[in-house]
């Protein structure tokens, strides 16, 4: 039964590494991913929290190369089958204003910003207001 008063508590876990993919089955074929990378990503999800994106240190290293993601060290956690792992939270995306003289960094939280990423942008690259709700548009100074 649909419960509109309940908020969906989505957990996301990410890990970076090799995997094998293929179609399995004859009567009801399914596309499957196999490997330690898939298992580790699953462990990141199961050890995560609702409304958070949980990352392994391998994924955090790759995201740091882009220089636009706000990562928060979660710390070492005991991951079943893997032992102690250093993990991170993905908190948002840093976007620099190209024509700003202040070099101010705009920070968009992922929890409230993901739906707005798929909306149309106005010519000034600001987020459109939809259905009476305004997307997160915080301006804070952070190191990315």
Q: Show which residues are catalytic.
A: 43, 80
Q: Is the dihedral of CA 110, 112, 114, 117 positive or negative?
A: negative
Contact 74, 88 (CB under 8 A): yes
Contact 48, 88 (CB under 8 A): no
3-class secondary structure per residue, 116-141 = HHCCCECCCCCECCECCECCCCEECC
Reported as half-sphere exposure (CB side, CA atoms, 13 A), residue 48 has a value of 24
Cβ neighbours of 108 (radius 10 Å)? 21
């Amino acid at each position: 039964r649909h419960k509109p008063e309940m908020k969906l508590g989505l957990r996301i876990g990410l890990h970076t590494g090799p995997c094998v993919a293929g179609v399995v089955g004859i009567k009801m074929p399914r596309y499957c991913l196999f490997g330690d990378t898939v298992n580790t990503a699953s462990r990141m999800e199961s050890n995560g929290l609702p409304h958070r994106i949980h990352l392994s240190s391998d994924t955090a290293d790759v995201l740091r190369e882009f220089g636009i993601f706000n990562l928060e060290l979660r710390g070492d956690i005991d991951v079943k089958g893997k032992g102690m792992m250093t993990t991170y939270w993905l908190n948002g995306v840093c976007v620099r204003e190209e024509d700003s003289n202040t070099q101010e960094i705009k920070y968009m939280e992922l929890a409230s910003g993901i739906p707005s990423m798929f909306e149309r942008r106005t010519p000034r690259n600001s987020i459109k207001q939809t259905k009476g709700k305004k997307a997160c548009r915080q301006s804070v100074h952070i190191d990315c």
